[in-house]
Structure 1
Amino acid sequence: MTIASVPLDGGLSMPLLGFGTWQIEGQAAYEAVREALEAGYRHLDTATVYGNEAEVGRALADSGVPRDEVFVTTKMPAHQAGQEREVLAASLEALRVSTIDLWLIHWQPSAGHSVPMWRAMLAARDEGLVRAVGVSNYDIKDIDELIDETGQKPAVNQIKWGPSLYDPALVAEHRDRGVVVEGYSPFKTTNLKDPVLTRIASAHGVDTARVVLRWHIQHGIVVIPKSVTPERISRNAQVGGFVLSEDEMAQIDKLRR
């Protein structure tokens, strides 16, 4: 499987398709990540609060896939402001890696903590413990606060995204600041039985889930579907064999609420 990537600062490339692990724990998380890597995913997304970093790390180590071929994201819990180094050390140990490719602030911290946390994450990046830093669930005004106070933009903002949430103005605001949009919960936010999606899927001989994933990729938005079903994990990875036309993309864009 060959999936396009989006460039980040510092020569880093982030695959547009990743494998999400939210709400997958224990052996199920281990097996799902092994299946994902076997299916060709080279981008894994986890977080401290998911409670599965150890399983993700063990699956990566056991997979035989070289570490430098897999983009690994984890996230810093906002409620642990002031403990950034301890949390990062625990993540590195659990994931069995010497550096994390992308470290995100998981959600907006309480008042007064966002900028200090951001400075701590920037310091970790500058020391080589992480390769890029970003945020999740941030509004544009919150991103601007970080930029105004430190002169450093987040590489990525991971937000809930899908056709029903499509907002070209919001995407443009991120891109004007050089921030990559990454979408989570692509299927939870989408009616996969929508006639627009079923018609387009039928035309390409694929299921509607892959149409939604392909829509993200062609918009240049990183997407991280998740599943614990081997067949679905493998099927979701097969998004390189078809291309949506401009008209099909426009039809899906219009599904926004």
Structure 2
Amino acid sequence: MPVIGLGVYQNPNCKPACLAALQSGYRHIDSARAYKNETQVGEAVRDSGLPRQDIFVTSKINKIGGGYQSCLNAIGDSLKNFGFDYLDLYLIHSAYGGKTARLEAWEALLAARKAGKLRSVGVSNYNVKHLEEIREAGLEAPSVNQIELHPFCQQKAIVDYCRSHGIVVQAYTPLVRGEFGNPVLQELSKKYGKDPAQILIRWSLQHNFVPLPKSQNPDRVRSNIEVFNFEISGEDIEKLDKLDRGKDGAVTWNPVDVD
């Protein structure tokens, strides 16, 4: 899995951003059925001229209440939308639906992976209790948990659980939706000669998260991957770490506490 990906949430016409990303060195695009842009992502991958196997594409199922077969049908529909034979990663988008629905959906994802339709499977917005349900059911653990993650909302208990169980943590909304006014963030931006978005992405990378910055602006897309030519010092990482406000720091729906 490439260590940084392009997010395409709320971007139904995401093809220009995807092409800019792929031309700039991104090899990872994060979509979802709820975003209604799987077709656009597929077109961008084909039009990029890059080999399909060089690009890591993710999607997510957002409605799991219909049961096992319904989830399998959704996976098939996603593949049709993308125009792909397989997806690199497929996630359960959230824990909404209840325990029975979550476990049936998870079993469907495992079955689709076994059938070769998915290369890897995971979850999104899962708290520790949701991850424990999978373990207690005797099922294989997710390879990924994608959660809101940035200095202001660090979800430490979830991150600690994932790390102790070998689950990769992907960070969505790593750019806090452009809320860059924090004095510490501004201070470090000036110190390192990088824009606040690049500081936030670098923070995520240095914590071994997989950030998924989103932008519809091709110039911003390109700028967001220019983060491999500097490193934030340990002292400055600590300054950012101290900005954590727990759940109060979230800027999205962050539905990790559903039953």
TM-score relative to the length of structure 2: 0.89
Map of 1:91-170 to 2, 5 A cutoff? 91-111=78-98, 112-170=100-158
CA distance in 2, matches of 1:185, 1:248: 21
Summarize the Cα distance change of 1:192–1:181 in structure 2 as closer, same or farther, 3 Å threshold.
Answer: same
Q: Which residue of 1 aligns with 2:27?
A: 42
Note the C-alpha offset of 1:154: 0.6
Q: How high is the sequence identity, in percent, across the aligned residues? A: 38
Cα deviations by residue, 1:55-75 (Å, 9 ceiling, x for unpaired): 000011001111111111000
Q: Which residue of 2 aligns with 1:203?
A: 191
**Larger deviation, residues 73-82 vs 48-57:** 73-82
Consecutive unaligned residues of structure 1, counting only runs of 5 or more, are: 1-13
CA distance in 1, matches of 2:162, 2:66: 25
What is the letter of the counterpart of residue 114 of structure 1? R
Q: Secondary structure at the match of 1:15?
A: coil
CA distance in 2, matches of 1:255, 1:190: 16
CA distance in 2, matches of 1:147, 1:21: 31
Choose which of 241, 244, 247 in structure 2 pairs with 1:256: 244
Note the C-alpha offset of 1:193: 2.1
Q: Secondary structure at the match of 1:158?
A: strand
Q: Which residue of 1 aligns with 2:206?
A: 218
Cα deviations by residue, 1:58-115 (Å, 9 ceiling, x for unpaired): 0110011111111110001234532122111111121121111110001114222111
Q: Which residue of 2 aligns with 1:88?
A: 75
Map of 1:19-58 to 2, 5 A cutoff? 19-25=6-12, 28-58=13-43
**Larger deviation, residues 214-223 vs 32-41:** 32-41
What is the letter of the counterpart of residue 234 of structure 2? E
CA distance in 2, matches of 1:106, 1:216: 21
Q: Secondary structure at the match of 2:123?
A: strand
Judge conservation of contact 2:92–2:123 (CA < 8 Å) in 1.
yes
- How many pairs align? 242
What is the letter of the counterpart of residue 17 of structure 1? I
Summarize the Cα distance change of 1:39–1:100 in structure 2 as closer, same or farther, 3 Å threshold.
Answer: same
CA distance in 1, matches of 2:123, 2:142: 6
**Larger deviation, residues 190-199 vs 148-157:** 190-199
**Larger deviation, residues 104-113 vs 53-62:** 104-113
Note the C-alpha offset of 1:167: 4.0
Summarize the Cα distance change of 1:138–1:255 in structure 2 as closer, same or farther, 3 Å threshold.
Answer: same
Q: Secondary structure at the match of 1:150?
A: coil
CA distance in 2, matches of 1:167, 1:66: 36
> Would you tell me which structure has more strand in proportion to its own residues?
1
Task: Note if 1:231 corresponds to 2:216.
Answer: no
Cα deviations by residue, 1:116-156 (Å, 9 ceiling, x for unpaired): 11111111111211011100111111011012113310111
Summarize the Cα distance change of 1:159–1:208 in structure 2 as closer, same or farther, 3 Å threshold.
Answer: same
Question: How well do the aligned residues superpose, as a CA RMSD in angstroms?
Answer: 1.4
Q: Which residue of 1 aligns with 2:248?
A: none
What is the letter of the counterpart of residue 68 of structure 1? Q
Q: Secondary structure at the match of 1:165?
A: coil
Note the C-alpha offset of 1:157: 0.7
Q: Which residue of 2 aligns with 1:5?
A: none
